[in-house]
Amino acid sequence: MTSAEDKRARVDEPHVAPLNDLVRSWRRDGRFVPWVDPDGAGTAARVLVLMEAPGPATVAAGDLGFSSEDNPDPTARVLKALREESGLARGDYLRWNVVPWALQDGAGRHRPPRVDDLAEAGPALRQLVGALPRLRVVVTFGAPALTGTMRLLTLEEPARLLPVLGVPHPSLRNGHRRAETRQRILVALRTAAAASRD
């Protein structure tokens, strides 16, 4: 695992530079948007793993915040372990959020995306998918990510049809069905890995 400082020094490597240029454009509105991880597939991604929105620890990291499986939070650790177990190579997938910027409630606490957030973030998701020419499969984590992806594919004619696998978010709040959640994520990632090799 590389440090956040090392990753930050590499945000303009060729495979992630176009994506991090998008990050810069989304930041112009004064929003926090994490960097795309240079240790991932970048524009060569064949699988897009879509979470909901940047988490509190990522937001707190500021300019050293990344959408990464290396993040120091339980969701990232679970996702990384299941990704490794599934056989999906790190160099084949991109981890991102259906809403790329931080979302907070009136008290400044992290909150999940709402329908209006998904609508506002739709153009950003369209730009991201357009920058991934080798993309074959999308795996969404949580209902907001699935809804945002379906909006992308059905509000207007998609540039290309993409298979989408929707699984529960791996956070602790889904603990009542932990074994089933784990199994569904593992199967989805294995399926995506296989499809990305076809």
Residues 6-63 pLDDT 10s: 999 999 999 999 999 999 999 998 999 999 999 999 999 999 999 999 999 999 999 9
**pLDDT of amino acid 158:** 82
Q: Which pLDDT score, from 0 to 100, does residue 87 have?
A: 96
For residue 184, the 8-state DSSP code is H
Lookup: tokens for 168 = 């529960």
pLDDT for 29: 84
- Model pLDDT, residue 47: 98
**Over 90: is that where the pLDDT of 197 sits?**
no
17 class by beta-carbon count within 10 Å (0-12 exposed, 13-18 middle, 19+ buried)? middle
Per-residue pLDDT, averaged over 86-98, amounts to: 97
Question: If we measure between CA atoms, which residue out of 82, 110, 104 comes closest to residue 168?
Answer: 82
| Statement: residue 1 has pLDDT above 70 | no
Q: What CA–CA distance (Å, rounded) separates 164 from 166?
A: 6
Using one digit for the tens of pLDDT, what is the confidence trace for 120-177?
999 999 999 999 999 999 999 999 999 999 999 999 888 888 999 999 988 766 555 7
165 C-beta neighbours (distance < 10 Å), count: 20
197 against 60, higher pLDDT? 60
Token pair recorded at residue 82: 């299941």
> Bridge partners of 51?
97
- With CA atoms as reference, report the closest residue to 147 among 177, 125, 173, 179: 125
